[in-house]
Amino acid sequence: MIKIGITGQAGFVGTHLFNTLGLYPDEFERVTFHKDYFSNATLLNEFVTQCDVIVHLAAMNRHNDPQVIYDTNIELAKKLVNALEYTQSKAHIVFSSSTQEERDNEYGKSKKAGRELLYNWSQQSGGKFTGLIIPNVFGPFGHPNYNSVIATFCHKLTHHETPTIAVDGELKLIYIGELVEVILSEIRSANSQAEVKVPFSATAKVSEILSLLEKYKSEYQEKGIIPKIDSSFELNLFNTFRCYMNIANHFPVSFVKHTDDRGSFVEIIRLGVGGQVSFSTTVPGITRGNHYHTRKIERFAVIKGKALIQLRRIGTDEVLDFYLDGDAPSYVDMPIWYTHNIKNIGDEVLYTNFWINEFYDPNDPDTYFENV
């Protein structure tokens, strides 16, 4: 069992890494970190002594005064080095740096200097060190106007604001899930490397990204259409976009019900992708689900009976309740990293239509069980 602590655990990358480690309970043990540990040497020392691996993500990305960014990030690295030295730790330090190292700015300079400080500690102490040079990272739950331009665009579009392009440059990108897999690979290999250049998985101009996101807003948010997706990058971008929507206010979405003397007709879904469609019957009082996905797109459509659909984002406590009734057919889509269930709360059999964007593969189900 490898005991892993993450400085910056509550941040964008830290949250995804912490949650993903939880998918491997037989391999990794998570050591909880709080940001106030950096203000208390005793707590920081206690944290360090518990860890076989420390992933150092804590850093300041933006501030009006660039010198504050530099000073803050260097201070964090020095405090971690002091704790490692005081406890005589032999931990494996995985350091998150940035391709900004190549640029003449205080953030990039601070990341390079911090990486060198921790590498020098490893050389003198016999510990291990891996310095990751990371390209632009995007994904769900990043902070707008802070983590990435994609986070900013997604937030603005889903909240009826108008994004603007300052510089239409070409970005080298990596999805947060891909970055987490790189970090896990480095932890498992336990190799020491002063500098590991993490490869980007996609390139796109800022204007191209904005055009795709505008399509997702028009087709998905406004019309409920699952858009055409041509690559893993576009799937990751679409899943990122979905997580910025105000889910509590958006769902459930009512279908258009066409009725005549023969009965009724309801169109369930329009898609630009394939996938798998299924339906279920559920007897009164029974709950299905209580699981989540990390990549799949999924739609639940109630066509007969009464249902309660519940969602909760992993790592949070807020539960969203959606009540659906087959007399007014409607649907709820499941964002990634939200555990979800559906319960028959009526007196008759519940009929539900399910669509998911990929065929079920028992060897790679992307289904993780956790009660809502």
Q: What is the pLDDT of residue 226?
A: 96
Residue of higher predicted confidence among 194 and 238: 238
pTM: 0.93
How many CB atoms sit inside 10 A of residue 227's CB? 19
Q: Which of 72-76, 127-131, 151-155, 266-270 has the lowest mean pLDDT?
A: 266-270
Residue of higher predicted confidence among 141 and 103: 141
Give the tens place of pLDDT for each residue, 302-361: 999 999 999 999 999 999 999 999 999 999 999 999 999 999 999 999 999 999 999 999
5-11 average pLDDT score:
97
Asked if the model's pLDDT at residue 62 lies above 90, the reply is no
Tokens 């530099």, residue located: 70
Average pLDDT, the chain: 95
Residue 247 CA neighbour count, 13 Å, CB half: 21
Burial of 274 by CB count in 10 Å (0-12 exposed, 13-18 middle, 19+ buried)? Answer: exposed
Instruction: Give the strand pairing for 170-175 and 136-138.
Output: parallel
Angstrom CA distances, 5 to 30, 31, 59, 230, 315, stand at 6, 5, 15, 37, 16
Strand arrangement, sheet containing 193-197: 28-31, 2-7, 53-56, 92-98, 128-134, 193-197
Q: What is the dihedral of CA 352, 355, 359, 363, to 10 degrees?
A: -60
Give the tens place of pLDDT for each residue, 18-27: 999 999 999 9
124-148 average pLDDT score:
94
How far apart CA 84 and CA 43 sit, in angstroms, is 13
CATH topology of domain 2-137+175-202: Rossmann fold (3.40.50)
Q: Which regions of the chain carry the CATH code 2.60.120.10?
A: 247-369
Q: Which of 336, 360, 343 is nearest to 278 (CA)?
A: 360
How far apart CA 370 and CA 372 sit, in angstroms, is 6
Q: What is the pLDDT of residue 38?
A: 97
Give the tens place of pLDDT for each residue, 71-118: 999 999 999 999 999 999 999 999 999 998 888 789 989 999 999 999
Q: What is the pLDDT of residue 54?
A: 98
How far apart CA 249 and CA 247 sit, in angstroms, is 5
Asked if the model's pLDDT at residue 12 lies above 90, the reply is yes
Distance, CA of 364 to chain centre: 19
Angstrom CA distances, 115 to 101, 128, 335, stand at 10, 13, 35
Residue of higher predicted confidence among 31 and 147: 31
- Written out in words, the top-level CATH class of the domain with range 247-369 is mainly beta
Q: Which regions of the chain carry the CATH code 3.40.50.720?
A: 2-137+175-202
